[in-house]
Structures are given as C-alpha cells and as structure tokens.
Amino acid sequence: MERLLYHFFICSIFLHISFLPLQIQGQDLDSKVASFLKKNKSQWKDLNVPYEDGQTLFDLIVEHKYTSALEIGTSTGHSTIWMAWAMSKTGGKVITIEINEKRYREALKNFKEAGLSDFIDARLADAMELIPKLVGPFDFVFSDADKGNYKNYFELLHPKLKKGGIFSAHNVREGYYGVDDFLQTIKNHPDYETTFDTKTRAGISLSKKID
C-alpha cells in the first residue's frame, strides 16, 4: 500500500511538472494579448470593431468551445485578434479574409505583435472568390466585409456550417445600408435561430444552426 502511495505521489509530481511550462506559456500569451489590446484600444482606425464587440466574439467562441472559425473582412485585425485569442483557449484556428493588401499586411504585423500568428490563417483575397474554394466545415463565422454580399456569404457558407455553429454578422442594426436582404433571410430561415447582440451601436446578429 505504501509503495502504491509512493508511486502515486511521484506520478502526480511528474504530471504537475510536465504541464507547468504549458500553463506558464498560456499565462504569458494572455498577458501579451491583453496588453496589446489595451494599448491599441482607442487606436484602431480602419473600420475595426469596437473593443466590446471583440469581447463578445471571444466569449462566444470560448463558451461554445468552437475550434474552426472563418472571418470575412480582416481589415487590420482587431476582431481577428479577439477570435484568435479565444482559439488559443479552445485549441482551434481562425481563417480570415481581406481584399485590401495594405490592411492585410498591417494585420499580419498586428497578429505577430499580439503573439497570435499561430492561431490565424490570414488570406489576401476577394471573399466571394475564395469562400467557394474553402472546404470547411466551420463552427463560427463572423461576417464583417461588404454588407451587400452578406446574404451571398451566408448562402455560400450555410452548407459548410456545422450544426450548433453560429453565423454572425456585424453592423446589422435597422437602417444599415445593404443588410435588409440578409436580415430577412436569417430571420426566416427554418434551420437557424437568430438573436441580436446590441451592446454597441453596430449590433451583431447571431444565427445558430439548429438543423
């Protein structure tokens, strides 16, 4: 019995020591990302989401343990950084698409500075051309590019979205130019339950695939 307890004791110490570097790595990454986001909180100037909306994306991904995200419209990377930070918790990755080369290059720099490049697959492309080529499946989509294409993005991604996954879209409050068709589609779609996060002026639609 004593021998068994001794072995148990040695094994627990060994396990504790083996996982310690991972815990420290995680803590280091958290403080690196948090200080990057804090430092840049009021500096974003390329149509980036507000800090609070980034936090909403992070919370959703972590809460549902999503691991395969797609973002349409990277800009300089604010929302991607929140999503990738969440992916560092769930063990997943986010693909993000941007058509503007200057913003794409700036985003790459930001991802590196935040310490999150390993969790991001950034593509310089027109989303309408690239999405049909992406295999998926995805469990979280964030649409934040050209509003007139929101409905097209939704229709292209519907077959690639996992059941239980969410198709989210930014700037969907009543009166936002170009989103009416999209809103009609998601509100009436029998396979989705749609709610709205209205913490900020922009608003985020959250359409959960139920069937």
Contact 211, 182 (CB under 8 A): no
Q: Does 139 bind ligand SAM (CB under 6 A)?
A: no
Among 87, 127, 169, 183, binds ligand SAM (CB under 6 A): 127
Beta-bridged to residue 192, according to DSSP, are: 209
State the Cα–Cα distance between residues 131 and 134, nearest whole angstrom: 5
* Closer of 15 and 196 to ligand SAM (Cβ): 196
Angle (CA) 51-54-58 rounded to 5° is 140
DSSP code of residue 208: E
Residues in contact with ligand SAM, shown as a per-residue x/- string from 101 to 120 under the rule CB under 6 A: --x-----------------
* Closer of 19 and 130 to ligand SAM (Cβ): 130
State the Cα–Cα distance between residues 2 and 6, nearest whole angstrom: 6
* Closer of 30 and 106 to ligand SAM (Cβ): 106
Among 128, 134, 156, 202, binds ligand SAM (CB under 6 A): 128
- Binding residues among 64-93 for ligand SAM as defined by CB under 6 A: 73-79
CA–CA distances in Å: residue 133 to residues 23, 28, 71, 93, 161: 37, 36, 15, 18, 14
* Closer of 53 and 139 to ligand SAM (Cβ): 53
**Residue showing the smallest CB distance to ligand SAM in the complex:** 73
Q: What are the tokens at 110?
A: 């930001």
User: Least separation, in Å, of the C-beta of 66 and ligand SAM?
Assistant: 17
CA 170 and chain centroid, separation: 12
Can you state the angle between helices 78-90 and 51-64, rounded to 10 degrees? 20
State the Cα–Cα distance between residues 171 and 178, nearest whole angstrom: 10
* Closer of 77 and 115 to ligand SAM (Cβ): 77
Among 48, 56, 194, 207, binds ligand SAM (CB under 6 A): 48
User: Least separation, in Å, of the C-beta of 51 and ligand SAM?
Assistant: 10
> Which residues form the interface with ligand SAM (CB under 6 A)?
47-49, 73-79, 97-100, 103, 126-128, 144-146
